[in-house]
Structure formats: C-alpha cells, structure tokens
Structure 1
Amino acid sequence: MSLDSITEVVRSSRQQLKLAVLDMTGTTVADDGLIERAFSSAVAPEGVEPGSERYRSMLGYLRETMGISKIDVFRQLFGANHEQAARVHRAFEVGYDEALSEGTLRPVPGAESAINFLRETGIKVCLTTGFARHTQNSMLESLGWMGLADLSLCPADAGRGGPFPDMILTAILALDLDDVRQTLVVGDTTSDIQSGCRAGASLVLGVLTGTHQEAALRAAGAHDVIPSVAELPTLLSGAGNTLHSLWR
C-alpha cells in the first residue's frame, strides 16, 4: 500500500485517526490450525466425520465465515436444531480453550510492536474477536496481552459480531470518539472488512496473514490490502504529519 493511498483516504475523512480496531485471530494472532482442529473435535460426536462430504461442506462454510460470531456459524450449520448448535459450540470452545492451555497460541510477528506503536502515537486500540468472552480472555492471557490494548470486545459485548458494525461502534462509544471517521479497521476476513465499511471507518485495511485472499478482501470493500499488521508502523509513520496534524 502506498503513502499516497493512505493519505487520500485520511484526507477525504477530514479527521485525525484516533482509534484502531484490530481483529485477533488471523490478524494479530496466528491461528496455526487451532480453529479447524477444535471444529473437527466438536462435530465428530455429532456424526460429522472428517473426510466425509458433510464434513467438507461444513469446513468450507467455517472457512468462508471466519470473522463471524462462532455461535452464529454453528446455528447456520445445524439449522433449526438450536440445542445441537449450542452443544457443538460449547464443545468447540472447550476444545479451543484446551489448545490455548497448552501454550500453542502465538502472535503474528510484529503485531505487539504495531499495537504499542499505535498507542504511543495517541491512537487507541481495540482488539475484537468472534469468540465468546471467556475464550477471548483466555487468548489474551495465553499471549500475555492483558492490558496491551485499550479495549477488547467480543460479539456478546456489542450485540452482534461481524459482518455487522456493532463491535466497532461499541468501541467508538466506549472510548469517547467524536466521529466514526476517526477509526482505522484492520482484519483478515471479508467479515472484518464489511464491519469496518458498515461502521463508517475512514480506513479499512485487509491483511494476508489469515483466512481470506486479497481479491476477496478487496471485493468486500477494503480500501487496500497489506501483507501484515506489522506494516502499520511503517505506513503510518510514512504518512507522518498527514495523520497527526491535518485539520486540528
């Protein structure tokens, strides 16, 4: 992404960036297959065997809907049987939590430095996820990230997860921003991008460290796509005075 393209988007908003809403899994946190392994363990007791046509179809839907609230994903997969969907969702989160307890979670390289950079330059940071609150807390604890960001939100905190704008708008209200256009959104899924666009963020960036490819992220409305969240310090430092002194 070029300095000119960042500058143009920020210039069009007539606002100084004051908040960065960053997705967790795939954007700031490396998944390393944990989600799919927890999914496989959760659906197997329901008769969905790995390698079966039904399993492949469900796994494809899981990949397609990365970034969306996990309970909503399971409700779609199991249709009107809400009890079964809730049971599988619980098993999924238990499996994921067990993987976290093994210490296998790791940050995307450069993510922690990028978050520290944003806060040091006066931009507040909110970390978002499609997981439940206890799982998000487990992720933050596993990474040693408690207190790293100004705020962390999950769908239950806001009402709905992606692709709806609720978590971003909740962050804006919680952190006392004056204008939605003061917001930067970064994510690795089409759901993250749609959330940012629907919230009215002035800068919505896709990253290539997670689930969805560049073409899909651009089609969802990303202003641009960058290799990794680790690029943010270079990009925003390059924008220099544009980001921090325009229209004061």
Structure 2
Amino acid sequence: MPNATVPAHTAPLTETPAIELVVMDMAGTTVTDDGLVVGAFDTAATTVGLAEDGPERDRARQYVQDTMGQSKIEVFRALFGDEDRAHAANRAFEEAYDARIVDGVAPVPGAADTISRLRAAGITVVLTTGFSPSTQEQILTALGWTDLADAYLAPGDAGRGRPFPDLVLTAALRAQVSDMTAVAVVGDTSNDIESGRRAGASLLVGVLTGAHSENQLRTAEPTHILASVADLPALILS
C-alpha cells in the first residue's frame, strides 16, 4: 500500500500487513476522562501522606504523567516503595476515580464507530487498560460499551501491565491470530507502543488525543502516528 494513504506526519511504512486483531488502549485513546487520572492521583498521594505541595509532589505528578498507560499499582509501587502504602494509594486512587466516572468519562469522537467498522470487517478488537478490572468495567458500563468490542483486558486478569507485552499477547491468544504480524496495537502513550513492540505486533499506532505528545510517542518508535483513533479505519481497511 503506498504511503500516500497515511497522513504525512506518520512514520514511513511501505505496506500495511493484513490485520486480524487490533488491541486498543482506553483512557486517552478511545475514552476521554477530563483529567480524572491526575485528580485521583492527588487524592491517593494525600491519603498516603505525600505533602500536598512542594518538589516531592511535583516529581510524583510528573512520574504519573510519564508512566501513563502503565498498571496503576505498579506506578504506586515505584513511587512509594512500601507494598502496604502502594496498595493503600491504589485503593484511594480507584475510589476517587470511580466516584467521578459517570460524569467524567466520554468517548473519543469516532472511537465507537471505528471499533464497529473494524469488527464488521472481520477484525477482532480488544480494549485494554492500566486500571483494575473493576474500574474498567465501570467505565464500559458508563459508556454503554460492554458489548462494543470483542473482549476487554486489564492487568489484574491478563498478567502484567504495560510496558510488558502481556495484555497484547493475551489478546492474541484469545483471538487465535495466525501470526503476531497480524496484530495492531493502538495507544496514546509510549508505554502502549512499547508493549506492542515487545509482543511482536507489526503495527504500532500512536494517537494524539491523550497523555503523550507526538515527540513523546516518537521516542517509542511507532510505525504510525494519527491525530485520532477515528483515522484508524483508513489505515487498516483501505
């Protein structure tokens, strides 16, 4: 397929392979949450005794931004060290996030249509997240998306979170793909891209609707960068 079908700012790719499975991130990729992650983190950090202002809080906030897409419990382990403190922070984070899901989450424009079009073309679509399975379920319920994709995975029920390959590999096993080159991974963070790379996916697609900038995404060397997941069918189905 000629490169002319791909937006000019994407990384070069001479031919798009036949895709059987698309593994898509949720928050920032298919779902917007209006800053809920950072707000919930601040609640969690205060709960476990981190000063509300100052350099330590600023460094922690920056770490949360840099590690967007990763399993939240792993982020808290890295920040707070102590296992009990990490789990206390994770519980507070989930409670704060879950309390605002109904009013705070919305679909990225065109995301639901993209998923439906891919599935109608015979491609399996799996939505993944760095949140817990229970938080993922609440987001899906709030959006009315419980039947939108073929499957839904979170670190708690599919091994380790990003940047490890577990979510992508689990999705590939369940979809019974013929080869990992038939897998596309789509996300708004460098951790999404790295997870797909480690799993052996051939299409590593970054989108500009979420946490990481184009420059941040490019550090993970995606095969493509798109303005939105709404542009994905033109890449895969054309």
The alignment's TM-score, normalised by the length of structure 2, stands at 0.93
1:185-228 alpha-carbon deviations (Å, 9 max, x no partner): 11000100001111111111100001111122122020121100
**1:210 partner SS:** coil
2:67 to 62, 65, 68: 65
CA gap 1:120/1:7 in 2 versus in 1, 3 angstroms: farther
Which deviates more, 150-159 or 46-55? 46-55
1:28 and 1:108 in contact (8 A); partners too: yes
Hey, what does 1:120 align to over in structure 2?
120
**C-alpha distance in 2, partners of 1:225/1:58?**
28
Q: Larger deviation: 147-156 or 39-48?
A: 39-48
Which residue of 1 is the match for residue 23 of structure 2? 21
Residues matched between the structures, number: 232
Residue 189 (1) aligns with residue 176 (2): no
Q: Distance in 1 between matches of 2:122 and 2:78?
A: 40
Greater helix share, structure number:
1
Compared CA separation, residues 189 and 7, structure 1 to 2 (3 A): closer
Q: Counterpart in 2 of 1:86?
A: 87
Residue pair 2:30, 2:107 contacting (<8 A) in 1 also: yes
Alignment of 1:198-209 (within 5 A): 198-209=198-209
Structure 2: which amino acid aligns with 1:127?
L
Counterpart CA distance in 1 for 2:216 and 2:103 is 32
Alignment-mate amino acid for residue 87 of structure 1: A
Residue 163 of structure 1 aligns with which residue?
A: 163
CA distance in structure 1 between the aligned counterparts of 2:155 and 2:48, rounded to whole angstroms: 26
Displacement of 1:6 in angstroms is 7.7
CA distance in 1 between counterparts of 2:153 and 2:221 reads: 23
* Identical columns (%): 47
* 2:14 aligned residue (8, 20, 24): 8
Give matches, 1:217-228, under 5 Å: 217-228=217-228
TM-superposition CA deviations, 1:73-116 (whole Å, max 9, x none): 0000001x11011001001001111011x432101111001111
Task: Give the structure 1 partner of residue 40 of structure 2.
Answer: 38
Please say if residues 29 and 210 of structure 2, whose CA atoms lie closer than 8 Å, have aligned partners that are also in contact.
yes
Are the counterparts in 2 of residues 197 and 221 from structure 1 also a CA contact under 8 Å?
Answer: no
RMSD over equivalenced CA pairs, Å = 1.6
Query: How far does the alpha carbon of each residue in 1:119-140 deviate from its partner, in whole angstroms, 9 at most, with x for none?
Result: 0111110000001100000010
Which residue of structure 2 aligns with residue 229 of structure 1? 229
Alpha-carbon contact 1:132-1:154 (below 8 Å) kept: yes
Contact 2:13 2:223 in 1 (8 A): no
Structure 2: segments with no counterpart, 5+ residues: none
Cα separation, partners in 2 of 1:30 and 1:2, compared to 1, 3 Å: farther
Does the 8 A contact of 2:33 with 2:104 survive in 1? Answer: no
CA–CA separation in structure 1 for the residues paired with 2:115 and 2:222: 20
Which amino acid is 1:10 matched to?
Answer: T
In the TM superposition, what is the alpha-carbon distance from 1:9 to its structure 2 partner? 4.1
Q: Whole-Å Cα distance in 1 between the matches of residues 43 and 4 of structure 2?
A: 43
CA contact (8 A) 1:163 1:191 kept: yes
